[in-house]
């Protein structure tokens, strides 16, 4: 069964494709080009559903199964910023580097060199047989100095619980095992399997 990914984020596409072994995973832009999707939901689940529904409606495929990922990092001491605004923390269209710098600036404003933080991923699945949303989390801390260039987004300043290195430095295999995205996908996989069985 083909799974169509409702994301334009290349980091997510890479990670999600690696987390599926037998399913074929296709970014929606390969089929219909990119489209602007207004993410005006008030939480990760709402935004994940907005993205998956928008792509599902735009596709001209019978029986398509569309999967989206809305995710972000939250820092409790900063009032859970940036949360659902992670991709646009430093302004609409800001680069990953600018967003990361803004988080470092916010830590410095508070006189902190590090703070507890967590990533959230909401994965939505939209199909002819229904809509589903699951979540996954990864806890750890953010630090004020980027380390390593692996992963994407805030990974160079995020140190997962139980580790001393950032996700920018750690082997990508570790992130594949413990990430918010991997955990959410573990919950999404039985749903996708069930939908796949409906085709058979």
21-33 per-residue burial string, b: 16 or more CB within 10 A, e: under 16: eebeeebbeeeee
70 tagged catalytic: yes
Q: Is 169 in the site for ligand ITT (CB under 6 A)?
A: no
CB within 8 Å of 159: residues ≥ 6 apart: 140, 141, 142, 143, 165, 166, 167
The single residue of 70, 155, 171, 197 carrying the catalytic annotation is 70
How crowded is residue 69: how many other Cβ atoms within 10 Å of its Cβ? 27
Q: Is 86 in the site for ligand ITT (CB under 6 A)?
A: yes
Where in 95-114 is the site for ligand ITT (CB under 6 A)?
Answer: 96, 99
Element (H, E) at 43: none
CB within 8 Å of 31: residues ≥ 6 apart: 4, 59, 61
Where in 121-150 is the site for ligand ITT (CB under 6 A)?
Answer: none
Q: Which residue is nearest to ligand ITT (CB)?
A: 153
Q: Choose the binding region for ligand ITT from 22-30, 63-71, 101-109, 110-118 (rule: CB under 6 A).
A: 63-71
Q: Is 69 in the site for ligand ITT (CB under 6 A)?
A: yes
Tokens of 111: 């006189």
Taking the least distance from each CB to ligand ITT, the nearer of 13 and 195 is 13
Give the binding site for ligand ITT (CB under 6 A). Answer: 7-9, 12, 39, 51, 69-73, 86-87, 96, 99, 119, 151-155, 179, 181
């Amino acid at each position: 069964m083909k799974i169509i990914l409702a994301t334009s984020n290349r980091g997510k596409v890479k990670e999600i494709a690696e987390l599926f072994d037998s399913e074929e995973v296709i970014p929606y832009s390969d089929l219909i080009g990119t489209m602007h999707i207004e993410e005006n939901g008030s939480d990760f689940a709402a935004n994940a559903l907005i993205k998956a529904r928008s792509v599902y409606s735009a596709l001209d495929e019978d029986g398509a199964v569309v999967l989206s990922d809305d995710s972000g990092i939250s820092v409790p001491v900063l009032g859970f910023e940036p949360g659902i605004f992670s991709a646009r923390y430093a302004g609409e269209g800001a680069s990953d580097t600018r967003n990361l710098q803004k988080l470092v600036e916010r830590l410095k404003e508070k006189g902190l060199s590090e703070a507890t933080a967590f990533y959230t991923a909401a994965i939505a699945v939209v199909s002819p047989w229904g809509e589903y949303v699951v979540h996954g989390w990864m806890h750890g801390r953010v630090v004020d100095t980027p380390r390593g260039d692996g992963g994407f987004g805030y990974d160079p300043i995020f140190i997962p619980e139980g580790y001393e290195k950032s996700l920018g430095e750690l082997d990508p295999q570790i992130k594949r095992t413990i990430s918010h995205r991997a955990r959410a996908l573990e919950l999404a996989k039985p749903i996708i399997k069930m939908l796949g069985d409906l085709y058979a």
